[in-house]
Amino acid sequence: MVETYELLVDRLATPIGELLIVADRQGRLRAIDWTDYEARMRLLLDRYYGRGRYTLDAARDPGGLTKAMRAYFKGDIDVIDRLPVETTGTAFQRSVWRALRKIRRGRTISYAELASRIGKPRAVRAAGLANGQNPISIVVPCHRVIGSNGTLTGYGGGLPRKKWLLEHEGAL
């Protein structure tokens, strides 16, 4: 029998758009995305869990994650460091996502630095691709990765949101 993942979804109004917060029944964060990118989020969920192998049921504040994200947007930036996450993906992707969680608030790194931090300094493009496939934006802070020349590059929620998040965290 094929396992079906029971996922819970809540919505949170933020200063930069409505956020979708997806958790499992154990209260671990599985995905975060913006409602205007919900189709992309569902594609990632299909990729990581299998099309038709998960359910998305509406829930209020699953695992206290919505409350935590509300606190983040009100200024408690460090709250995201304490949130439990669970991801699937390749071993390489998971290594990139673990490295992203180690980037401290108020800091940014380049894609080259990200590749070096996972012990694969020549895998800059692969690290960038894994960064872009991160299903748990903000909490797995892919927005803290910028171009080597200091420019804001690539963010699944759009560059204006990336800029806002980095300003909110004191990195710009």
Looking at the annotation, which residues are catalytic?
A: 142
| 134 phi/psi in degrees, rounded to 5 | -60, 120
What is the distance of C-alpha 65 from the center of its chain? 13
Q: DSSP of 12-78, one letter per residue?
A: EEETTEEEEEEEETTS-EEEEEEGGGHHHHHHHHHHHH-TTSEEEEE-SSGGGHHHHHHHHHTT-GG
Q: Which two tokens stand for residue 171?
A: 């990195």
Distance CA 126, CA 54 (A): 28
CB-based contacts of 73, cutoff 8 Å, min separation 6: 12, 14, 15, 168
Beta carbons of 26 and 3 less than 8 angstroms apart: no
